[in-house]
């Protein structure tokens, strides 16, 4: 009498179900771990990048301040810069502390000590410089800025730029780690399907469908991570707009009121009195401060974009470029202007700013050509120079070019880096008419 296969079938079913349950639990844990890894590392990388950009901005402010300190035409005493340096110092220390808390890239103790020592040496040199200035040794203090402080600030900026590069490399390594986990999960899923499809075809088909849904969600998460940089740019523009508005409305009105009160006092003072001269001098200082505040407000976010439009703003900006950057610009504008909404205008304007800044910093040329024209349903902006040009590595990894490409993507356009016949670099931004004319 043959034995009934029921027991064997039941045992096989139990083993199969146990295998399915165990393997499903394993796959779920792997995918959940992958999701947590993506979420945590993307968030930390974003916060780390924000702090590094904050540090870089503070260092740039220090660089601009030191440049202005060496400008003897302004007539400011060096000790007057102490408050600004103290404010930047507090912000810089806070940014370094926060960056170390969220940094993904692990640094050796030697790197950490070197960075801390560089920062401490920089501020020690700043303290010595201001001490020289307070004792009346202005020339020695300026020499200290020229010989020591600018070099130390440049070294710190280089270190921060290197950290930003490392941060980007870390993001690439994270993406590679995610892909490795993805491939591992995928290969084991295929093995499991091959081993169980004959016994339970229905269960195998169900698992295939479930895993496809999971992989589609992973692809969506990957796309969202790539959009992170664009979100950061949009957030930065919004923040700069608010800061510029506060500077213009609050500080501008306050300085205007101070200037009016000083002029009234001056009229009531005796004609030849020393007080009248002092009031006039203070009024001139207040007027200079007002012009600086307005200039800074326009630099952060030009209100001309909302008031007069993109083309008038470009005309105004190009009239200031030679003084600010030392680059003489030839501007060519052809065709009927396209209406441009505020969002598109600010991104086109920032691309122009960054491109001309790159000409001043990297090309070695003192001339540039800017062309703005509508053609075939698109708005085209070109910035050309005949300097040294960009190599392939710089064009691919330069932070400025990355930011310009992200801005182009935000308005549905494209940014091309070309080499003109005469040598140098040609930056071409193309914005579709559907985006440019959205008003």
pLDDT at 65: 80
pLDDT tens by residue, 16-71? 777 777 777 777 777 777 677 667 766 777 777 787 788 888 888 888 888 887 77
Neighbours of 308 (CB within 10 A): 13
Lowest mean pLDDT among 29-38, 193-202, 254-263: 193-202
For residues 424 and 48, the model is more confident at 424
pLDDT value for 204: 47
What is the reported pLDDT for 439?
A: 39
Beta-bridged to residue 383, according to DSSP, are 370, 427
The distance from CA 211 to its chain's CA centroid, rounded to whole angstroms, is 37
User: What is the reported pLDDT for 6?
Assistant: 55
Task: For residue range 306-348, list pLDDT tens digits in order.
Answer: 777 888 888 888 888 888 788 888 888 877 766 778 788 888 8
Q: What's residue 29's pLDDT?
A: 77
Task: Please report, rounded to a whole number, the percentage of residues in the chain having pLDDT higher than 70.
Answer: 71
Helix 228-246, helix 201-226: angle, nearest 10: 30
- Residue 303 has what pLDDT? 65
Confidence check: pLDDT of 357 > 80: yes
Quickly state the pLDDT bin for 2 (edges 50, 70, 90).
very low
pLDDT band at 203 (very low <50, low <70, confident <90, very high): low
In this predicted structure, the answer to whether residue 281 has a pLDDT above a threshold of 50 is: yes
Higher local confidence (pLDDT), 318 or 275: 318
Does the pLDDT of residue 210 top 50, yes or no? yes
Per-residue pLDDT tens for 127-186? Answer: 888 888 888 888 888 888 888 888 888 888 888 788 777 777 776 776 677 677 777 777
Beta bridge partners of 333: 372
Q: Which two tokens stand for residue 20?
A: 């399915």
Most confident of 290-294, 299-303, 339-343: 339-343
Q: What is the CATH number of domain 304-436?
A: 3.30.565.10
Band the pLDDT of 429: cuts 50, 70, 90. Answer: very high
Higher pLDDT, 333 or 214: 333
Q: Is 305 exposed, middle or buried (0-12, 13-18, 19+ CB in 10 A)?
A: buried
249-263 mean pLDDT = 70
Average pLDDT value over all residues in the chain: 75
Q: E strand or H helix at 119, and its extent?
A: helix 109-134
Hey, CA dihedral for 304, 310, 316, 322, is it positive or negative?
Answer: positive
363-408 pLDDT, tens digit per residue, is 888 889 999 988 877 889 899 998 887 765 555 556 678 788 888 8
Average pLDDT value for residue range 61-85? 78
Model pLDDT, residue 169: 74
Q: Report residue 215 CA to chain centroid gap.
A: 31
Mean per-residue pLDDT for 401-424?
Answer: 84
For the chain, domain boundaries = 9-226, 234-300, 304-436
Identify the DSSP state of 250. I
- Residue 297: per-residue pLDDT: 62
DSSP 260-273: HHHHHHHHHS-TT-
Mean pLDDT score, 180-205: 67
62 token code pair: 């220090």
């Amino acid at each position: 009498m043959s034995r009934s296969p029921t027991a064997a079938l039941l045992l096989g079913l139990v083993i199969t179900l146990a295998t399915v349950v165990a393997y499903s639990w394993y796959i779920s844990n792997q995918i959940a771990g992958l999701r947590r890894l993506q979420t945590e590392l993307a968030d930390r990388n974003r916060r780390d990048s924000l702090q590094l950009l904050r540090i870089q901005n503070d260092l740039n402010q220090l660089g601009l301040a030191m440049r202005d300190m060496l400008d003897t035409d302004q007539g400011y005493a060096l000790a007057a810069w102490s408050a600004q340096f103290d404010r930047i110092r507090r912000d810089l220390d806070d940014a370094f502390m926060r960056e170390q808390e969220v940094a993904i890239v692990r640094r050796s103790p030697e790197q950490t000590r070197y960075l801390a020592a560089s920062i401490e040496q920089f501020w020690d040199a700043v303290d010595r410089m201001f001490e020289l200035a307070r004792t009346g040794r202005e020339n020695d203090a300026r020499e200290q800025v020229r010989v020591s402080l600018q070099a130390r600030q440049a070294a710190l900026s280089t270190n921060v730029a290197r950290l930003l590069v490392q941060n980007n490399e870390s993001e690439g390594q994270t993406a590679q780690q995610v892909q490795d986990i993805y491939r591992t999960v995928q290969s084991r899923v295929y093995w499991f399907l091959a081993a169980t499809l004959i016994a339970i075809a229905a269960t195998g088909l169900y698992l295939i469908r479930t895993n496809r849904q999971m992989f589609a969600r992973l692809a969506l998460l990957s796309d969202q991570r790539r959009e992170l940089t664009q979100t950061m740019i949009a957030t930065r523009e919004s923040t700069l707009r608010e800061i510029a508005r506060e500077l213009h409305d609050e500080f501008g009105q306050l300085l205007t009121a101070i200037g009016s009160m000083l002029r009234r006092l001056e009229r009531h003072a005796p004609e030849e009195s020393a007080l009248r001269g002092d009031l006039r001098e203070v009024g001139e200082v207040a007027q200079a401060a007002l012009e600086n505040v307005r200039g800074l407000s326009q630099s952060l976010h030009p209100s001309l974009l909302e008031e007069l439009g993109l083309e008038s703003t470009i005309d105004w900006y190009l009239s200031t470029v030679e003084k600010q950057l030392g680059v003489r610009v030839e501007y060519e504008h052809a065709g009927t202007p396209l209406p441009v909404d505020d969002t598109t205008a600010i991104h086109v304007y920032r691309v122009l700013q960054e491109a001309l800044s790159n000409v001043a910093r990297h090309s070695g040329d003192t001339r540039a050509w800017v062309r703005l024209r509508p053609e075939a349903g698109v708005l085209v902006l070109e910035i050309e120079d005949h300097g040294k040009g960009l190599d392939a590595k710089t064009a691919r990894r330069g932070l400025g070019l990355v930011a310009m490409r992200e801005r182009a993507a935000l308005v549905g356009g494209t940014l091309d880096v070309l080499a003109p016949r005469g040598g140098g670099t040609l930056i071409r931004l193309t914005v579709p008419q559907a985006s440019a004319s959205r008003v």
